[in-house]
Structure 1
Amino acid sequence: MSATTYPAEHTALLLVDPYNDFLAEGGKLWPLVADVAQSVGLHANLKAVIQAVRAKPLPVFIVPHHRAEPDEYAGWDHPTPYQLGASRAQVFAKDSWGGEWHPDFAPQPGDTIVKEHWGGSGFANTDLDFLLKQKRITHVILIGLIANTCIESTGRFAAELGYHVTLVRDATAAFSHEHMHAAHTLNAPSYAHQVVTTAELLAVL
């Protein structure tokens, strides 16, 4: 990697799904990601990346998942099993503690909050691409949850749209180590331009 990989005027951080349900003790999904998250030092790495990005400064885009509501898929033709399961559990439920930002990773003044995504990609049916283009962003750095769904889907979509994509392998987590391996080792080389550790990213930033 070289410093020119991340031009300051054209690089943004995408922080995906920083909700209590994912990141906080007592969150509905925390028990599923806790093992991997703790093994990679997720919280410390998220904080380190965000701190470095804000210090540079680079723009931060919060890329949130849809906040669940009861019976939200009634009448839909093709909700996915993933969507239906999340709805049954009311993951990130609207107006609930689990659907609030984790206090360590909440938006700060100047951050951009993207419209909520219904599926895995932070781009599909949202304003993320439009907002990035308004700031002339060409390079995106992805962190957050989870590696093999929303991070991978958002990264793939970004690459299809022509963005330079960086994944930070230890600033994310998944439900298993196998999912992490698949996301970063097997799948990422087909679309990501850089797959780095937090330490490697910080050395450049």
Structure 2
Amino acid sequence: MTETVVPKLHDWHIEAREYARHESRRGKRHAYQQLVPARTALIVVDMVPFFTEEGDYQRGIVPNISLLADTLRGLGGTVAWVLPGSTEPTAVTLEFLGPEVAKLFNESGGSGSLAGRVWQEFEIHDDDLLVEKTAASAFFPGRCDLHPMIEQRGIDTVLITGTVANVCCESSARDASTLGYRVVMVADANAARRDQDLNATLHTVYRTFGDVRPTAEVLELLAG
């Protein structure tokens, strides 16, 4: 019997000492005090049935991602859907994961059109970007075309959302920062397996690679 999935959100937080650390350095809690919608892209990582169908936290973030997508589109921004791509596993991958798990992850993105692979509750628009990645990060050179696609649109800020927060989302945030993007990880629009996993990622991103904000605050920044 299949267990019913009850969507829920993580109990996320940033420790007070981390807020204080940045406040003492730059005089403010959050690095980015405004977002220019036309130069902002919502990056939605791996929200496909493989991860979302039986994931309570993954299902829980769907409404927040949809709200962010609708709002950003309406203000002239970009929405980019990033899906797992398929590639022949390397010898290292096979050694590390084992052949069965390597095969499972290699097929996690599904088949058919890219738009048809995204979780069914999302609405894909004609001007949205759809792209595959063949590495954990959506910004790793040579493993995903996202960077040149959004660079052509004049994007300088990325809102990182999706799953798994402490794997592909964190990897994407790190590499986006290295490429010079202003990175905002949306705390309640990222999902992991446990609260501890998400909070470890939020700590790392906030400390070194970007800002961390909840959906409501991101919407306020987009509204100006």
TM-score, length of structure 1 as denominator length: 0.79
Over the residues paired in the alignment, what is the CA RMSD in angstroms?
2.6
The more displaced of 12-21 and 87-96 is 87-96
- 1:137 corresponds, among 155, 169, 192, to 155
Kept after mapping to 1: 8 A contact 2:58/2:162? no
The residue that corresponds to 1:5 in the other structure is: 34
**Partners of 1:15 and 1:79 in 2: how far apart?**
25
TM-superposed CA distance for 1:4, in Å, is 5.8
TM-superposed CA distance for 1:203, in Å, is 1.7
The more displaced of 80-89 and 152-161 is 80-89
The residue that corresponds to 2:71 in the other structure is: 52
Asked if residue 151 in structure 1 is aligned to residue 169 in structure 2, the reply is yes
- 1:121 corresponds, among 137, 154, 171, to 137
Asked if residue 79 in structure 1 is aligned to residue 93 in structure 2, the reply is yes
Q: Deviations over 1:99-150 (max 9, x none)?
A: 8211222431111112x21221002222111112111111111111111011
- Paired amino acid for 1:57: G
Change over 3 Å in CA distance of 1:83–1:200 after alignment to 2 = farther
Kept after mapping to 2: 8 A contact 1:142/1:151? yes
The residue that corresponds to 2:111 in the other structure is: 94
**3-state SS, counterpart of residue 133 of structure 2:** coil
Gaps of 5+ in 2: 1-29
TM-score, length of structure 2 as denominator length: 0.73
Counterparts of 1:59-74 in structure 2, within 5 Å, are 59-67=78-86, 72-73=88-89
- 1:174 corresponds, among 163, 180, 192, to 192
**Partners of 1:182 and 1:109 in 2: how far apart?**
36
**Partners of 1:102 and 1:63 in 2: how far apart?**
12
The residue that corresponds to 1:15 in the other structure is: 44
Change over 3 Å in CA distance of 1:191–1:2 after alignment to 2 = closer
Kept after mapping to 2: 8 A contact 1:18/1:106? no
TM-superposed CA distance for 1:3, in Å, is 8.5
**Partners of 1:134 and 1:45 in 2: how far apart?**
27
**Partners of 1:83 and 1:199 in 2: how far apart?**
41
TM-superposed CA distance for 1:156, in Å, is 0.3
Change over 3 Å in CA distance of 1:138–1:177 after alignment to 2 = same
Gaps of 5+ in 1: 25-29
Kept after mapping to 1: 8 A contact 2:177/2:183? yes
